[in-house]
């Protein structure tokens, strides 16, 4: 199994996938390797970049940092959602940061994402707002988004806050508060950071407890009967950390967040060229060159040949 992150990994700085990267992914599928895409993007938003690639309909897409697993054909394999009580607690706990708070639901069209202050969000992440404007709905106060009960339709699959690196450090500090409500939140959430230091931007994904790319991949691998030693993962940010740690071979992009590059150095993980230089394609082709002569994937050939 080959697991690839999307933004900063398969996609270049323009948000597109090069012909070389597309060709490498197709070659991996042809060689009998299961290709899995694992992204922090929502399924629909990820699909915009993946639809032209031409991978098989049964190819798996893990979206929203592990909350939803679907095939490219749209078949849902797994979903983890956030209880409404946890969502309401987030609204109260984040206080002044709630104007950065976005709730994501597994639906399409207006209401797929709900915010309280679109103008504030537009100032922080204008590109993201422009790309998702057709699915964003403003609800004030945010709590009204959950007034119709706690069935699966009303439960968000994740929440997100964003802002400058310093601003998000302050927001995360609220979640570490010793007060009982903050402690309850910590027991019910998994927190994943995606940082872009050059843009002074940090996105904090607030997921249902235990929800992550790594756990989604571990679940899928168990269903497929694939051992971790037979899995390679490629990523570029801190929300990729647990999937990289799970895989038998971890490869990080040269353009990765500095914190992830430091972890890679400590663990001896391979570093490939940047996403601008097609680093993911280069890593995949090195893997394919190494496995072409290998008698069996079960001997760790996939993991062993991505070094360098």
**Domain limits, the chain:** 2-79+212-304, 84-208
The per-residue pLDDT of the chain, averaged, comes to 89
Query: What is the longest distance spanned by two Cα atoms in the chain?
Result: 61
Confidence at residue 297, expressed as pLDDT on a 0 to 100 scale:
37
Q: What is the pLDDT of residue 175?
A: 83
Q: What is the pLDDT of residues 217-257, one digit of tens each?
A: 999 999 999 999 999 999 999 999 999 999 999 999 999 99
pLDDT score for 223: 97
Secondary element (H or E) of residue 296: none
What is the CATH topology of the domain spanning 84-208?
Answer: 3.30.1240
Select from 163, 59, 65 the least CA-distant residue to 120: 163
Q: Residue 156: which residues within 8 A CB-CB, separation 6 or more?
A: 81, 82, 87, 103, 104, 105, 114
Query: Whose CA is closest to 141, among 105, 185, 184, 88?
Result: 88
Can you list the residues of the chain whose pLDDT is less than 70? 149-152, 291-308
Q: H-type helices in the chain, by residue range? A: 19-30, 43-50, 84-94, 118-124, 126-132, 165-175, 180-188, 213-224, 241-246, 258-267, 279-291, 301-304
CATH superfamily of 2-79+212-304: HAD superfamily/HAD-like (3.40.50.1000)
Instruction: Provide the pLDDT for residue 282.
Output: 97
Q: Is 114 helix (H, G, I), strand (E, B) or coil?
A: strand
Task: Give residue 138's pLDDT.
Answer: 93
pLDDT digits (tens, 9 = 90+) for 180-221: 887 888 888 999 988 888 888 888 999 999 999 999 999 999
At 177 the pLDDT is 82
Which pLDDT value is given to residue 291? 61
């Amino acid at each position: 199994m080959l697991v690839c992150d999307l933004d900063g990994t398969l996609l270049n700085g323009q948000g597109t996938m090069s012909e070389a990267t597309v060709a490498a992914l197709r070659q991996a599928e042809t060689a009998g390797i299961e290709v899995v895409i694992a992204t922090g993007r929502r399924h629909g938003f990820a699909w915009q970049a993946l639809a032209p690639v031409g991978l098989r309909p049964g190819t798996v897409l893990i979206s929203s940092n592990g909350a939803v697993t679907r095939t490219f054909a749209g078949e849902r394999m797994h979903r983890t959602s956030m209880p409404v009580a946890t969502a309401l607690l987030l609204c109260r706990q984040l206080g002044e940061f709630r104007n950065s708070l976005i709730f994501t639901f597994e639906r399409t069209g207006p209401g797929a994402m709900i915010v309280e202050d679109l103008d504030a969000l537009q100032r922080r992440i204008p590109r993201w707002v422009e790309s998702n404007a057709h699915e964003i709905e403003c609800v004030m106060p945010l709590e009204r988004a959950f007034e119709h009960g706690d069935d699966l339709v009303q439960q968000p699959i994740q929440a997100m806050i964003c802002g400058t690196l310093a601003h998000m450090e302050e927001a995360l500090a609220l979640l570490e508060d010793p007060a009982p409500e903050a402690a309850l939140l910590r027991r019910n959430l998994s927190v994943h950071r995606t940082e872009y230091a050059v843009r002074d931007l940090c996105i904090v994904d607030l997921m249902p407890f235990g929800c992550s790319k790594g756990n989604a991949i571990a679940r899928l691998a168990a269903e497929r009967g694939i051992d971790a030693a037979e899995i390679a993962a490629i990523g570029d940010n801190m929300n990729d950390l647990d999937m990289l740690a799970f895989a038998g071979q971890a490869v990080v992009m040269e353009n990765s967040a500095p914190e992830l590059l430091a972890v890679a150095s400590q663990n001896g993980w391979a570093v490939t060229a940047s996403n601008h230089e097609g680093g993911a394609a280069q890593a995949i082709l090195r893997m394919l060159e190494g496995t072409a002569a290998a008698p069996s994937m079960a001997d760790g050939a996939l993991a062993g040949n991505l070094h360098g």
